[in-house]
Structure 1
């Protein structure tokens, strides 16, 4: 364990992580926990005998009649979720755009280690009220380092809303009132019931793929579920 100006920095990590931590301390921010799998209390898995409801999904894109449905349980502050967004989502987007995949996002904020995750999920849903879920979702992941560990994250999210051209008053009221907190927590409890232990986690039709896997893993599962149809 290392201490950078009094803040603990745990583990044998790459030099880039040290540089990032030093920069954060220099800006007066807290050092974020190192990326690692983020377990939740041991769930009692429920066999998926029917499709996951998308009624309370945060965002949905793709053809409703697509043969493959992917449901992602995500934490917008999770480094592994960010990696999925950066490295895998561009390839999945091709399948979405081609009509092969319907893609839905549900919230799974791990607030014990990601204190801004719940607020970020609220921000994305507040943007959805103005039909801007996906632009906000993308902006949150693209700029995760700017708000993760930032006590002033709410102001950052409001600036993102302004950058997207949203109605500032409506967005601010929604965010300040934590309008979607109950729905977000319902998503989380649902995921726990389905056997989700950390983020990201994906259901491809009814097949669970837990973790930030490369596109090849998704392609294999997609091929298998299509063959089984």
Structure 2
């Protein structure tokens, strides 16, 4: 059985706002082994054993990274489970997991086992017949992404490692990511021939009334091969965001980046960018996304989209053998 936490429970169970580079699952395997919470465990290959409690942790490496971990706690102590998960994820699971496991509805399901979606991580929890508690933790990997046209791809369109950014052109947090992290991420693409960067429009119309018009204007600029230049120019200024009708600024920016005026005007008049934006929104809804910017590397979520190192850490994790 798979259980998705309520917003309140998810918040208490996982505070997932730090860089993936700091997490142990998905991060450096050697860093995991020196966590203080694991100091009582003795290693034999990929098996860690605590002689006093009988608890074991089986690590699954991926090159020099930790892909996943399986815990077995003979006493079924939820507090110990939370502390060990803290060490294995770099997140604060301890109190949230303990509270979660004490819930009557969860206890009723534990003998059959259940899966918990906690944003960046997937947890599988089960109470065994001998009353021991087993947990498995791995990075959550989203699937089912749609294709985007080559005009919204940087790098080799056939590259196997894909950075997918779902963004709202009026979102101040997207602007922050674009100005602080994306330039470095894009700059690093050139020597990394196996990585491509995709932009997926996700205008949050309820929050940002100019997000859709901006996205449609970008799609019209895209028809003339000017998407990236238009998008970058738009993120470099904010004066249009509170305007009742920013179309004059959109048109000026389109021309300034090299788009021909009349084809752009015709596209906007005919709402030639609407279908592209509708498709982006439909995909985001289908994937269950609810915030921007949301960024994935081959389905693994970049938990700090404002830090270029977070992108690179997941790229290296995906690349590892």
Same fold, judged at TM 0.5 (above): yes
* TM superposition outliers: structure 1 runs of 4+ over 3 Å: 47-50, 55-58, 210-213
**Which residue of structure 2 lines up, in the alignment, with residue 110 of structure 1?**
204
**Which residue of structure 2 lines up, in the alignment, with residue 227 of structure 1?**
320
| Map 1:39-54 → 2, pairs under 5 A | 48-49=142-143, 52-54=145-147
| Map 1:119-130 → 2, pairs under 5 A | 119-130=213-224
1:106/1:126 Cα in 2 relative to 1: closer, same or farther (>3 Å)? same
Cα distance in 1 for partners of 2:304, 2:282 equals 18
Greater helix share, structure number: 1
Contact 2:295 2:305 in 1 (8 A): no
1:211/1:78 Cα in 2 relative to 1: closer, same or farther (>3 Å)? farther
| Map 1:74-85 → 2, pairs under 5 A | 74-85=167-178
Greater strand share, structure number: 2
| Map 1:31-70 → 2, pairs under 5 A | 48-49=142-143, 52-56=145-149, 59-70=152-163
Larger radius of gyration: 2
Alignment partner of 2:203: what SS?
Answer: coil
Cα distance in 1 for partners of 2:185, 2:212 equals 25
Any stretches of 5+ residues in structure 2 without a counterpart?
Answer: 1-140
Match of 1:134 among 228, 248, 252: 228
Any stretches of 5+ residues in structure 1 without a counterpart?
Answer: 1-46
* TM-score, with structure 1 as normaliser: 0.72
Cα distance in 1 for partners of 2:151, 2:279 equals 12
Moved more, 212-221 or 191-200: 212-221
Is structure 2 residue 185 aligned with structure 1 residue 92?
yes
Cα distance in 2 for partners of 1:121, 1:138 equals 12
Contact 2:297 2:314 in 1 (8 A): yes
Cα distance in 2 for partners of 1:217, 1:55 equals 23
Alignment partner of 2:310: what SS?
Answer: helix
Cα distance in 2 for partners of 1:58, 1:114 equals 25
